[in-house]
Amino acid sequence: MNQLVHPKERVYFIVCLVVSIIFYLLLIVSIVGIIYLIIGAIVGLILNGIFIGNLKGNSIKVSKHQFPKIHDIAQRLSKEMGLNKMPDIYVLQSGGALNAFAVKFLGRNFVVIYSDILELAYEEGEDALAFVICHELAHIKRKHLSNRWFIYPAMLVPFLGTAYLRACEYTCDMIGNYYVPNGAIAGLLVLTAGKKLYKQVNVEALLHQAQEEGGFWVWFAEIISTHPNIIKRVRNIINAQTSNNSTYSISMSI
């Protein structure tokens, strides 16, 4: 799995860690700083607790008896990826938004899947859904959620924190592609074209779009974002599959 980690993830993590250690040391040398650290930790704990409370009270937990197909996919991938246990997975209605994310609270990992993404499992896009789940499990496997507590001050530094998070997204894409290669491209396209139209996307035309519609604002919008542009993520997966002698052809429509 180390071969799947984006090189910049390690570099940015080290930079973030150094910046955060310096910040923490500056706080520790003063009594006021220690108080700020304690208050920050308490506030963070409360906010996370409220979020988890809302999540458990307003979403549906995946189990053997509740969305068993999703449970089987997540359980299989968790074992293949070497996770100690499958994280708790919740399905949340999101007003049509297509996304999924992972979160950690008091040592427990959670994966949240928006309901519109879940519908893919009951249509023809099961591989796409498996990729989305695997991507979130990869965040847990790589300890991205745990590490953020150590580097939180650096995450507030303009451009630095977002650069690290984008590198983490690339890593999780590559891990998802490794375990679910048939769903990688579709899993990314569904996030931008929707759970039905993604099948009609011409990938070759999409890549040409990336070449034609660049410029300063596209670049700037990305460097302040926590996620790389979808088109770049798709191109990255295609390059990986091509280098691995994949049978995938960018000339086909998905």
Residues 90-105: what's their mean pLDDT? 72
**Is 253 part of any domain?**
no
What pLDDT score does 184 carry? 93
Tens of pLDDT, residue by residue over 14-51, are 999 999 999 888 888 877 777 777 887 788 788 878 88
In a domain, 18, yes or no: yes
pLDDT of residue 250: 35
Residues of the chain with pLDDT > 70, as a percent, come to 92
Asked if residue 98 belongs to a domain, the reply is yes
For the chain, the average pLDDT equals 85
Let me know if residue 115 belongs to a domain. yes
Residue with the larger pLDDT of the pair 103 and 153: 153
250 assigned to some structural domain? no
For residue 248, name the pLDDT band (cuts at 50, 70, 90).
Answer: very low
User: Do the Cβ atoms of 251 and 229 come closer than 8 Å?
Assistant: no
Q: Domain for residue 251, yes or no?
A: no
Residue 252 belongs to some domain of the structure: no
Is residue 57's pLDDT more than 70?
yes
* pLDDT over 70 (residue 98): no
Q: Is residue 93 part of a domain?
A: yes
Our count of domains for the chain comes to 1
Q: Which domain holds residue 119?
A: 2-243
